[in-house]
Amino acid sequence: MIKTFRGLLADDTEDRIRLQTIKGKVGYRIVKFQVMGISENENYETAVQIFKFSVTPSDSINFTDADLLGAALYGDATSTSTQGASVVIFDNEIFNQDIFISAKATSGTTAINYYMELEVIPLDDAGAEYTTLKDMRST
Cβ neighbour number for residue 126 with a 10 Å cutoff: 8
**DSSP code per residue over 7-29:** EEE-TTEEEEE----SS--EEEE
Q: What is the mean pLDDT of residues 3-25?
A: 91
Judging by DSSP bridges, how do beta strands 99-105 and 26-37 pair with one another? unpaired
Q: What is the mean pLDDT of residues 95-122?
A: 91
Q: What is the mean pLDDT of residues 79-100?
A: 77
Q: Note the pLDDT tens digit of each residue in 24-74.
A: 789 999 999 999 888 877 778 889 999 999 999 999 999 999 999 999 988
Q: Which CATH superfamily is domain 2-126 in?
A: Nucleoplasmin core domain (2.60.120.340)
Pick from 31, 23, 7, 34: nearest CA to 96: 23
Label residue 134 by pLDDT band (50, 70, 90): low
Average pLDDT, the chain: 85
- pLDDT at 128 > cutoff 70: no
Domains of the chain, residue spans: 2-126
Buried residues in 56-68 as b, exposed as e (16+ CB within 10 A): ebebeeeeeeebb
